[in-house]
Amino acid sequence: MLGPTLPDLRKRLGVEYQEAAFAFAAQDVGLICGGFLAGITLDRFQYQGIFLAAGNAVYGACFAAIPLSPNLYVMFALFFLTGAGSAVTETGIVYAKKFVLGNFVYLLHRD
């Protein structure tokens, strides 16, 4: 959802495209970090429902707050947290499918 909104966010914050484009990287780094930490945490504690709810809450709250960000650094932080929340949700879904489908879930992710 970042692509179509980038020109408006750039104008609102008064920055150039090169500076605002780093939000793409912030979201991707958040996705990597969130997926890594969610995988480790889910293996240790196994609370899928809580992780799904927390991931969706973080993703939704940060995504809704992005247009309200007062400066570029807050926008980067919100995009990072949006990526992390999305990764926690996706990791929780795959982990929950593992309990429903057993080891068959790994066959669903093959190329």
pLDDT digits (tens, 9 = 90+) for 54-92: 889 999 999 999 888 898 899 999 999 999 999 988 888
The token pair at 3 is: 């692509």
Within 10 Å of residue 37's Cβ, how many Cβ atoms?
14
Angle at alpha carbon of residue 23, lines to 30 and 11, rounded to 5° = 155
pLDDT of the residue at 1: 62
pLDDT of the residue at 60: 94
Task: Evaluate whether 81 touches 62 at the Cβ level (below 8 Å).
Answer: yes
The half-sphere exposure of 67 on its side-chain side, counting CA atoms within 13 A, is 7
- In tens, the pLDDT along 10-62 reads 888 888 888 888 888 899 999 999 999 888 888 887 777 788 888 899 999 99
Q: pTM of the full predicted structure? A: 0.82
